[in-house]
Amino acid sequence: MPRPRDAGTRIPLTLSQQQMWLLEASADPPGLFNITAQHRFAAAVDEHALRAALEHLTQRHETLRTSFHSDGGAPYQSVAPSVALDFDLCDLRDLPAGEPREELHARVGAQDAEAFDLAQAPLWRSRLYRSADGSEMLAVTFDHLVCDGTSAYIFLSEVVAAYEALVAGDEPALRPLAVQYPDFALWQRDWLSEERLAAQLAYWKRKLAGMPLGPAMPLDRVPEKPTRRIATEPISVIGDAYAGLRDLARETGGTVFVVVAAALNALFHRAAGVTDVVLSTTLSGRQRSQLDGLVGCFHGVGRLRTDLSGDPSFETVVERMRETVIGLFEHQDIPFMRVRQAVLPDLPRGGPALLAAVPVELQYFHTAHDEWTPGAGVVERPGPDRGPDDLFFRGHLHPLNVTCLDDGERLWGQFSYKVDFYDRETIRRLAADLDLVLSAVVANPRARLSQLPVTAAD
């Protein structure tokens, strides 16, 4: 189990960081792998209290004070005792009516695109945007070496909790951390032997042999020079519809995640006629429960490959997906870059050709600790009214991404897509058809895929 390290120990990169280090070295543009998370406040923000909350988190998480260096070509990370907070207030209240939203997106986009100097901590920046309509939004951009999707949500929930405590005149009372990210880095290097990695690689070679390339939802086009422009369509499953998903998961021995992943498979099968469906999914990489509350680059990437040939019932698809997910969790330690090099050695290394070859990405986060699953993303969100506006909407490379948050009472999220690859109407129809598929399979899980009603197949 990870434990606090001895003082003065040189800290290696974790396997996830090493993979990201190599990717960032050839990234074009340089800030390509940044992650930007955002939170809208319900009331006017006390700037002093927000600064104090951000400072509190800077001291709480060593990754927020980490920089990266190289010794003879071997990268390592270093933690500073303190760093200057990179925070600024962006006042948009004087802009003409109708312009603040466009200006906000432009400024957050610029904040997201700016690369970091890896040798200079902190490798994150925060901005508070004030608009004329009274809304205030915090946007925080991280270099991927110090943060991942789950960590972004942890950061937001903790900074809001700390801020609310400070505004109330109290000290933040966040849950104590058992270890820090560098402790995990040292432990992982000792525990994850080449023999363990070889066994996991053998599994993925069998599982992904002959896998199809590209997203299961065909692209509308492949641009010569893709931009970073992203648009979204919301997902919301509430009330009886969500209760039906939970009941179906229980009846089939799976989880809501398994049912949703199976439903996406069914959706792409009906919309595009594919029978060999591959989804990319992110894993939190937190196989030890004491790592849940840490901010850092833990994430892993895996593939969910499902055979839909023979017009199976949705129940059968759920069973196949459940077995696939179990295999993913049991073989999630190996960095996917090693898997890709072994299974897809000729995959394009960058540019539009690579984007056209990657699958649809599914990101799924639990927002409650009712059930701990090794490697599943568990985050805490402040309050019951969080919705798609609070999702981090940049930081993914896939032309089509599905992000879901599950709090045990509802499911919400969004389809986010690169507008250079997909038309708005394509994704709007896809989002509407997901509602149809979910309703149909909850009503009759024994229905065959050919019986599921989707407009995209009409």
What is the three-state SS of 96-146?
Answer: CCCCHHHHHHHHHHHHHHCCCCCCCCCCEEEEEEEECCCCEEEEEEECHHH
**pLDDT mean over 298-303:** 89
CATH class of 11-184: alpha beta
Q: What is the pLDDT of residue 2?
A: 61
Q: State how far the Cα of 265 lies from the Cα of 270, in Å rounded to an integer.
A: 9
- Classify residue 71 as exposed, middle or buried by CB count within 10 Å of its CB (0-12, 13-18, 19+): exposed
Confidence band for 98, pLDDT divided at 50, 70 and 90: low
Q: What is the pLDDT of residue 168?
A: 97
Is the predicted pLDDT of residue 282 greater than 80, yes or no? yes
Is the predicted pLDDT of residue 458 greater than 70, yes or no? no
193-457: CATH, from 3.30.559.30, 3.30.420.10, 3.40.30.10, 3.40.1160.10? 3.30.559.30
Helix (H, G, I), strand (E, B) or coil at 165: helix
Confidence band for 388, pLDDT divided at 50, 70 and 90: very low
pTM of the model as a whole: 0.80
As a whole-number percent, the residues of the chain with pLDDT over 90 amount to 60
For residues 299 and 387, the answer to whether their CB atoms sit within 8 Å is: no
Confidence band for 230, pLDDT divided at 50, 70 and 90: confident
Terminal alpha carbon distance of the chain: 54
Q: Which of 22-31, 62-71, 342-351 has the highest mean pLDDT?
A: 62-71
Per-domain residue ranges of the chain: 11-184, 193-457
Is the predicted pLDDT of residue 452 greater than 80, yes or no? yes
| CA distances for 46 relative to 50, 165, 268, angstroms | 6, 12, 46
Q: What is the pLDDT of residue 198?
A: 93
Q: What is the pLDDT of residue 119?
A: 97
**pLDDT mean over 392-406:** 76
Q: What is the pLDDT of residue 1?
A: 59
Confidence band for 97, pLDDT divided at 50, 70 and 90: low
Q: What is the pLDDT of residue 387?
A: 44
Q: What is the pLDDT of residue 193?
A: 82
User: Is the Cα dihedral 385, 388, 394, 398 positive or negative?
Assistant: positive
Q: What is the pLDDT of residues 238-279, one digit of tens each?
A: 999 999 999 999 999 889 999 999 999 999 999 999 999 999
- The strand pairing partners of 234, in sequence order, are 414
Q: What is the pLDDT of residue 208?
A: 96
User: Is the Cα dihedral 336, 339, 344, 347 positive or negative?
Assistant: positive
Task: State the CB neighbour count (10 A cutoff) for residue 431.
Answer: 18
Q: What is the pLDDT of residues 31-73, one digit of tens each?
A: 888 999 899 898 899 999 999 999 999 999 999 999 999 998 8
Mean pLDDT of the chain: 88
**pLDDT mean over 357-380:** 63
Fold identical between 11-184 and 193-457? Answer: yes
**pLDDT mean over 402-420:** 90
Q: What is the pLDDT of residue 62?
A: 97
